[in-house]
Chains A and B, each alone.
Chain A
Amino acid sequence: MKYLVILCDGMADTPVPELGNKTPMEVAHKPVMDSLAAKGEVGMCRTVAEGLKPGSDVANLSVLGYDPKVCYTGRSPLEAASIGVELKDTDVALRCNLVTLSDEDNYADRTMVDYCADDISTEEAEILINAVEEALGNDVFRFYSGVSYRHCLTVANGTTDLGDMTPPHDISGRVVGEYLSTAPAAQPLLALMEKSYYILKDHEVNKKRIAAGRRPANSIWLWGEGRRPQLQNFEKKNGVKGGIISAVDLLKGIGICAEMATPEVEGATAYIDTNLEGKVDAARELFDTGCDLVYIHIEAPDECGHRGEIENKVRSIEMIDERVAAPMVEYLRGTGDDFRILVMPDHPTPIATKTHSSAPVPYMIYDSRKDIAGVPNFSEANAEATGIFISHGPSVMERLNRGVNMEFFAVNGKRPVRLSEQTRRFAFESLNHKYGKLTEQTPCVLMDDYAGFTALTPLEQYDAIIERIASTAPIRICENEKISGAATLGNAINHTVPATFKGDSIFRSISHLTIDFETVLKKGIYAIREDAKKALEKYMGTGKEPFVRSCINCINYMEIWHDRYLQELKPLAIYRTNYENLKKVPFLPAQNFYEAVQSLWFTFAFVRLCGNWPGIGRIDWLLGDYLERDLAAGAITLNEAREILAHFFIKGCEWVRGGDYGSGDAQHYQNIVLAGLDENGKEVTNTVTYLVLDILEELGISDFPTTIRINKNSPAELLQRVAEVIRLGGGVIAVYNEDLIIESLTDYGYRLEEARRFANDGCWEVQIPGKTYFIYQPFDALRILQHNTLKNYDGSVHFSNFDELYKAFIEDLKRKVQECGEDNLNNFIYTGVPTKDWKWKPSLPCTVVSVFEQGCIEKGLSYLEGGPVYNTVSPHIGGLPDTVNSLYAIKKLVFDDKKVTFEELMVVLRNDWKEYEHLRQYALTKYAYFGNDNDEVDSIAADIFSAFADACDVLNGHSGYMCPAGISTFGRQIEWAENRLAIPCGKNAHDILSANFSPAPGTEREGATAIIRSYCKTDLKRAVSGAALDVKLLPSAVNGENGLEVIKSLIKGFISLGGHFMQLDIADTAMLKDAQKKPQNYTTLSVRVSGWNARFVTLNKEWQDMIIAQSGSDI
């Protein structure tokens, strides 16, 4: 793909009476541009943001994709760069025009006759500037000659606080007096201007000019002050190599600062006589030598605008069409490559005003691969009429780079459109990694310069870090965002508090919990601080005092961060509502839906900013009442509410890339749980539930991973909507069987009301949100069977029947669970006697999450030290299906069918089936393994799990933790593969086997219903932490009217048979393989395996292969 930008400086205009009230663009005969516009995207773009001056620098930076609000440091530093001046950070550069002034005695009385000294030639100018340098240059002031009338002055240790240094082209024909800056710091500069008049007016060069009838360059004019700009490398920013062709220093300077190619073009001037053919040649040359994007800047229309030359302006546009657009299109077609062309001005330079305006400009993007309906004539009015408006100029470059169609990936079918264009754009950019990239750029705060940091206690260090994060983390306000706040430090993705000391990160952060948003929304964070103050009184002078003080501190720091957002938002009119909302929340209770969404988001963002990964929990339960009230009162419409909520989802899915994870980007475990019963047994499903489904359906956002609580009486409409969303693929919704889970929790000892509140930890492990400490202890059961029970097949053990083998394995399994329990004791000061009042050992500071976790402030204990109401450590058995299959295969091959003796089988397995391919095939194809609804094998799974759950129960009371059982692998089947030996069911050593409690890839032959039945035969009520099942369906299975029925039927069957958690996904192996080959076509394709999700294209090959292997299951 090649990208061409034809930037027609100042081309846009307003209707000109002399042209019959048409604009130059409308009048100009420009067949090439018009034919592209007829087949391309045409719209308007605001290149000059509110509050900025409409200079070519600002506008061109915008078009090149650099946000001037962030990068722009003034015009002259860019020009300085173009003439090879290397600015120091302490230097200030100014533009130094050669101008023609009238000859009144007093400088202030003179008139600006010509801001460009009659287009003085570069050669003449060089002589004059050298003369000025000689007379006025010194250690502080240095003059550099540039092109034509445009030159440069640098001021060592200068200031930019110079008041209004007026551009000379803005005051053509006016007396200069009232445009001279009155700022004290500007006075030495004005003196230079005045002195230059006496150096220049009688200079030989000017004498000759006057004799030749040309205006003299009789003064310098200083303006456009600025420091060295920081532009990110263009290629790194956009992923394409870029080059700029321009006669204007400014543009070359931008090119140099952005490390783009900036070839010289002979005879390129800024006027109508410029060497356009030279520019075209240079552009071809750039493409031919490997540039992907060439930016041809043509100044002529702007100059004509400044001069008020109507005909010349029309002519300049025609020339660009004929002599640039035509040959470039021909060239690009000739290359055989796909290409996109962007044609636009940087800003209007209307004939009527002869100066730049900051009005939006027309743009046109043509894509050689796809004709779309454009407009017949590329003009201001036609562009405006399309209704397409890019309000943030710098995104036009992304639009060119990425194409004009915002498509949210669906594995199957098409996603509906309900959200506004603006919100969809926001989502598209976010899902395409725009904000993730930004976040990656600022990894953390540095504590190196913090006086006495190492002498602080860990808790004091933690507080210092949080204060610094709150005070210095970048503030990010995304274009048109409806809610504000952003976790802008990249190291958070590495599960650390994003702060380093001498290059090392300092504290790990917290995940696997859902924090107490309910209190934040309903009471506000000030109320939490009041509780902390009360606790401080209570614990003053005790060992708990530092922790409680830290809680108060962290809330105060959050206020600092909050205040920074208020300051930033206050002057920006379009963020008025964000500002007004944030003035109240999250510190005060939310009064309406909009405030509630902002409160929830801001709190979440702060906790995440500080490195933690909390889940959201039951968002419909949290927000539903606010919305219902607002809707009833007519305070909000459904569409408005959907937009606001969409921004919550979009802001959370910025796909931050972490270290070198094979498992892709963006893993914040920020789970959302929808629907189900509330604490009183009433169904929660409300308008918010359906809005969330709308948003997931339209945008395909899978991070937040969402799980829906379904029970036997769930509303039919809810099931229907869930099926519709699931059918689109991407794994955005999983299913909980809440009938089973609530019973499971009450059986385990939770009160019914508490059980009904359940949400999860971030994957799918069930917990009571806002009051639970949770971690899990994963282990590989297959490893226990192979390594402990069968001694790595070394032949040293013998079992003469299946029962013996089974019992030996169960003993080994129980030992493993005991080990888990012993590990737990490490966290306690243990006297050797079990007790009810466990003493926690001090642990890592984690105040930011402790503040939002019920129990911590009250008990004066942190999240990691027993503060929460419930403290759980859950042993998780992994590789269970593979263990079951192994045992079953031994049972059949050795003891039932006597195909081989036990000793022989050990040899075969030790040698990884080498020379026993027939036996391996036999084992693989003859028996129906876990997932095929074979009672004989499924009962082994049920028995092992029940023995495991018994062993977990024994641990309760042996430490301060409850130890509920769970079944999982998440993605560990990949890392475990390395240590796994051959498996008796015909799999080789190191094969990637089952995920969670799902059948091993390739062993399931009976389809989804058999898989679910196999899984449900285990008593999953005892999997209090959870047991996940992954079921993949092919698109063909769920297409058409009957497809939704199929999905609903599977869910209903899963519920009635007693499943726990099911991730039902639509996958197409062929599509995934294509995505592996052509990642660029699948940038927003997300995949989810229970408890884990990512953008497919960011996975390494191993992970991608695993996903593909698991997608082939059902036909």
Chain B
Amino acid sequence: MKVANIQRFCMHDGPGIRTTVFLKGCPLNCVWCHNPETQKAQSEVLFYKNRCIMCGACSVCENNAHLFEESHILKHQLCKGCGKCVGECPVAALEICGTEKTVKELFDIIKKDCAFYGNVGGVTISGGEPLLQPEAVEELLDMCKKEGINTAIETCGYFSQDILNRIVPLTDLFLWDIKDTDPYRHEKYTSVTNEIILKNLFAADKLGAKMRLRCILVNGVNTDREHYKNILNIVKELKCCEGVEYIPYHSFGGSKSLALGEQNSGSNDWIPTAEQISVAKSYLLENGIKVF
């Protein structure tokens, strides 16, 4: 499996204490992406210039991706993501995102915190889009279920529907991203329309998938009442949805974009105000929807 990151002691990716596995690769290309390092399927090296001490240890690169002129420049287009330089860098200015791990390796890491999962905590497979690697995910979920570990998947909902039959029975909770309810805006900001996402959502619901909707709030993009109303309508139509979690946009993804040699497509203007968040929440609360 191509893994971007594994984070233990997570308390914001589902109930209880969880280990979150971020898989690499995503079919969407959201301009506000919080985890841009997980978008591409292949391994990438992130370079945090502010940590660099110009020691030159990274010159081990076989493709000469590291240039030292006035400052240290990583030529991302030359980088093959082998990660050799990362091992040499003494100050963690270079990080690799995207390591190959077997399902068993992942499972062993997840298992470590079994003592803390209790009845509610467990594993959350996130990304990127985990269901871009459906076979491996299915195998991992299966192993976890057999071990009695609670399973959750965070998905953008954009995948081929035929895998749902296999995934739903192995998943205790879906954290289902609804980036926007307006199809045009959805396409404009994420590069795909929301048609497939909603189709999958209702299909999963029909299969009895317990889920929470995760809705990003981006100031000036989807902070309108119409959107909240649409969310409400979706939730009302779902049988197995336990509620909604709003994710206010933050601009921390920007530094990672820069470290990837990409432009920072984020904007501080997108950060919703406390009032906007409260309006969005109370609209749902007033209509009897649980908000996490």
Given contacts A1007-B9, A1042-B15, A1046-B16, 16 further A-B contacts (CB under 8 A): A918-B91, A921-B90, A1006-B9, A1009-B8, A1009-B17, A1009-B113, A1010-B8, A1010-B9, A1013-B115, A1041-B292, A1045-B15, A1045-B16, A1049-B117, A1053-B17, A1053-B113, A1053-B116
Judged by a CB distance under 8 angstroms, whether A1109 is at the interface is no
Q: Are A1050 and B90 in contact (CB under 8 A)?
A: no
Chain B 104-134 interface mask (CB, 8 Å, partner A; 1/0): 0000000011011110110000000000000
CB proximity to B under 8 Å, residues A902-957: 917-919, 921-922, 925-926, 933
Judged by a CB distance under 8 angstroms, whether A87 is at the interface is no
Residues of A with C-beta under 8 A to B17: 1009, 1045-1046, 1049-1050, 1053
Q: Given A926-B90, A1053-B116 in contact, is the A1046-B8 Cβ separation under 8 Å?
A: no
Which residue in A919, A933, A1048 is a CB contact (below 8 Å) of B118? A1048
**Please, which residue of chain B has its CB at the minimum distance from the CB of A899?**
B90
Residues of B with C-beta under 8 A to A327: none
Alpha-carbon gap, A1045 to B150, bound state (A): 15
**Please, which residue of chain B has its CB at the minimum distance from the CB of A1037?**
B11
Q: Are B121 and A1049 in contact (CB under 8 A)?
A: yes
CB proximity to B under 8 Å, residues A1003-1048: 1006-1010, 1012-1013, 1037-1038, 1040-1043, 1045-1046, 1048
Judged by a CB distance under 8 angstroms, whether A1052 is at the interface is yes
Residues of B with C-beta under 8 A to A925: 90-92
Judged by a CB distance under 8 angstroms, whether B73 is at the interface is no
Which residue in B8, B9, B53 is a CB contact (below 8 Å) of A918? B53
**Please, which residue of chain A has its CB at the minimum distance from the CB of B120?**
A1045
Judged by a CB distance under 8 angstroms, whether B57 is at the interface is yes
Q: Given A1013-B112, A1045-B15, A1046-B16 in contact, is the A1006-B8 Cβ separation under 8 Å?
A: yes
The majority secondary structure among interface residues of chain A is helix
B124 to chain A, nearest CB (A): 13
Judged by a CB distance under 8 angstroms, whether B55 is at the interface is yes
Residues of B with C-beta under 8 A to A922: 90-91
Residues of B with C-beta under 8 A to A1006: 8-9
A899 to chain B, nearest CB (A): 10
Judged by a CB distance under 8 angstroms, whether A1056 is at the interface is yes
Alpha-carbon gap, A1041 to B292, bound state (A): 9
**Please, which residue of chain B has its CB at the minimum distance from the CB of A1056?**
B115
Judged by a CB distance under 8 angstroms, whether A1057 is at the interface is yes
Q: Are A1114 and B115 in contact (CB under 8 A)?
A: no
Alpha-carbon gap, A925 to B116, bound state (A): 27
Give the one of A1006, A1008, A1009, A1057 with max B CB within 10 A. Answer: A1009
List 6 contacting pairs A-B, 8 Å CB cutoff, sorted by A: A925-B92, A933-B112, A1045-B120, A1046-B17, A1049-B117, A1053-B115
**Please, which residue of chain A has its CB at the minimum distance from the CB of B56?**
A918
Q: Are B55 and A1009 in contact (CB under 8 A)?
A: no
Residues of B with C-beta under 8 A to A1043: 11
Residues of B within 8 A of A (CB): 7-9, 11-12, 15-17, 53, 55, 57, 90-92, 112-113, 115-118, 120-121, 292
B143 to chain A, nearest CB (A): 20
**Please, which residue of chain B has its CB at the minimum distance from the CB of A1038?**
B11
A42 to chain B, nearest CB (A): 34
Alpha-carbon gap, A1037 to B12, bound state (A): 8
Q: Given A918-B53, A918-B57 in contact, is the A1052-B112 Cβ separation under 8 Å?
A: no
Q: Are A921 and B91 in contact (CB under 8 A)?
A: yes
Residues of B with C-beta under 8 A to A1042: 11-12, 15-16
Q: Given A919-B90, A925-B92, A1042-B16 in contact, is the A1052-B11 Cβ separation under 8 Å?
A: no
A582 to chain B, nearest CB (A): 48
Which residue in B11, B15, B115 is a CB contact (below 8 Å) of A1057? B115
Residues of B with C-beta under 8 A to A1008: 9
Q: Are A1052 and B9 in contact (CB under 8 A)?
A: no
Residues of B with C-beta under 8 A to A1046: 11, 16-17
Alpha-carbon gap, A1041 to B14, bound state (A): 11
B84 to chain A, nearest CB (A): 14
Q: Are A918 and B90 in contact (CB under 8 A)?
A: yes
Alpha-carbon gap, A1037 to B92, bound state (A): 26
Residues of A with C-beta under 8 A to B57: 918
**Please, which residue of chain A has its CB at the minimum distance from the CB of B113?**
A1009
Alpha-carbon gap, A1053 to B12, bound state (A): 19
Alpha-carbon gap, A1046 to B17, bound state (A): 6
Q: Are B118 and A1052 in contact (CB under 8 A)?
A: yes
Residues of B with C-beta under 8 A to A926: 90
A1010 to chain B, nearest CB (A): 6
Residues of B with C-beta under 8 A to A1010: 8-9, 112
**Please, which residue of chain B has its CB at the minimum distance from the CB of A1046?**
B11
Alpha-carbon gap, A71 to B141, bound state (A): 77
